[in-house]
Structure 1
Amino acid sequence: MSENRFGFESLKVWEKSIQLVKFIYKLTSDFPKEEQYSLTSQIRRSAISIPSNIAEGTSRDSKKDKKRFYTIAYGSLMELVNQIIITKELSYISTESSQMVKDMAMEIAKMISGLKKSV
């Protein structure tokens, strides 16, 4: 019996973005309590926005709308990278963790760019 799936669920870029979200949640779980409603929340929101906008973009009928949502996903990815740099500077995460996020982000950025070009 095959599982019902939406079109976006078959996109590698969406799958990679979900992996990034899971990594971000684990990474931010040890942040200081005083950051719970500020930096932790903002980082998680940025991460969640990436696959969410990819999913929403796939549902749009016009090419212009699709590209707009993919562009928003890319912007959220850049926002996340910036926030990760800040958390590294604040010594909330290690250089290794920061680099892992940046490596994942680089791969996703290339995939989002490819997705935009394919529209």
Structure 2
Amino acid sequence: MNKFKFEKLIIWQKAMDFGEIIDKLTSDFPAKEKFNLSSQICRASDAIALNISEGSIGQSNPEQKKFIGYSIRSLAEVVTCLFKAKRRHYITEIQFTELYNESYHLMNMMSAFRKNIK
């Protein structure tokens, strides 16, 4: 029962799932990162879906494109945090590669969606 337009968007659904994966991942980060890297990556990953939904509600097409752009920027922030987490040995190379590839796929989906907004 989808009441909001964004609930039907595959990019929103994927972004929601991605945010949950990132949230779970950070539970294994050291306690010293709770208010630093853990918080930053969780806020950025949540912002992806938040901006998709915000842009889809009663906005003009240019406004929706702008919010998809914000989502893409938030995704870039997540990727940078993943690099930091890998360098600090909080995640494995395999975890990094899986999340990096998922990030790239999500970015391509959002870019294609943005191009199709008239």
User: Per the shorter chain, which TM-score range?
Assistant: over 0.9
Matched residue, 2:63: 65
Identity %: 33
Residue type of the alignment partner of 1:72 = Y
Distance 1:39 1:115 in 2: 29
Distance 1:81 1:52 in 2: 17
Cα–Cα, structure 1 residues 103 and 89, in superposed 2: closer, same or farther, change >3 Å? Answer: same
Distance 1:109 1:56 in 2: 18
Residue type of the alignment partner of 1:98 = F
Distance 2:58 2:47 in 1: 16
Unpaired runs of 5+ in structure 1?
Answer: none
CA RMSD after TM alignment:
0.9
The aligned length equals: 117
Distance 1:108 1:6 in 2: 21
Unpaired runs of 5+ in structure 2?
Answer: none
The alpha carbon displacement at 1:4 in A equals 4.2
Distance 1:60 1:44 in 2: 27
